[in-house]
Amino acid sequence: MTDEPRHQVPADHGAVAFAQLPQVLRKVTYSGARHPGAGAPECPSHLPQGAAGATVPAAPDAFADLAGGANCQRYAYAVLRHFGLLVPPLRSAELWADDRATRRAARPQTLDLVLFDAGPAAGRPTGYGAHVGVHLGPDQVLHLCREAGRPAVWRYADFAARPRYRRFLGAKRVLRGAGS
């Protein structure tokens, strides 16, 4: 990782990559009420083209909105924003269905979004309530959840061992240029 995040993919994986993130992205607290689209300020991970601040800022102040905490999606989108990947403020089912800013990836690659859930839920769209993390490398997912309280790097088996995350729904790759 370098000071010019928008052009770099983390060279390191897991805990090493996590340790190289700005402190603001390592110290976020979990807040389920702080999801994409939840009140003002709106999810800062996606700014429409031409909007004030539409470029990816290098300063940690760009993530000041995380001071109030975040849910898994808001956190994952902020991490991707650090690397110049902009994701619209989609909730998990919208993210899973989206084909404008993301595409499904057969095998996760570094900086792909990964979704986990407890399995299909009657009357709910696929991806509803899914947990979202960022794939950091082989068997390494950076995420924010209530259980850990702060960002953590887990293995895929760590998710599978928990009923609410037991199913790996899949991976979504952010399309470069989709948010620019």
Confidence class for position 149, pLDDT limits 50, 70, 90: very high
Identify the three-state secondary structure at position 69.
coil
Strand partners, 170: 115
Share of the chain above pLDDT 90, in %: 61
Domains (ranges, CATH) in the chain?
A: 5-174 (3.90.1720.10)
Output the pLDDT for position 8. 60
pLDDT at 92: 93
Structure confidence at residue 46 (pLDDT) = 44
End-to-end CA distance of the chain: 21
Predicted pLDDT at 32 = 79
Highest mean pLDDT among 47-56, 57-66, 84-93, 106-115: 106-115
86/111 Cα distance (integer angstroms): 12
Give the pLDDT score at 177.
61
Cα 149 to Cα 16, 28, 72, 121, 152: the distances in Å are 20, 8, 11, 26, 9
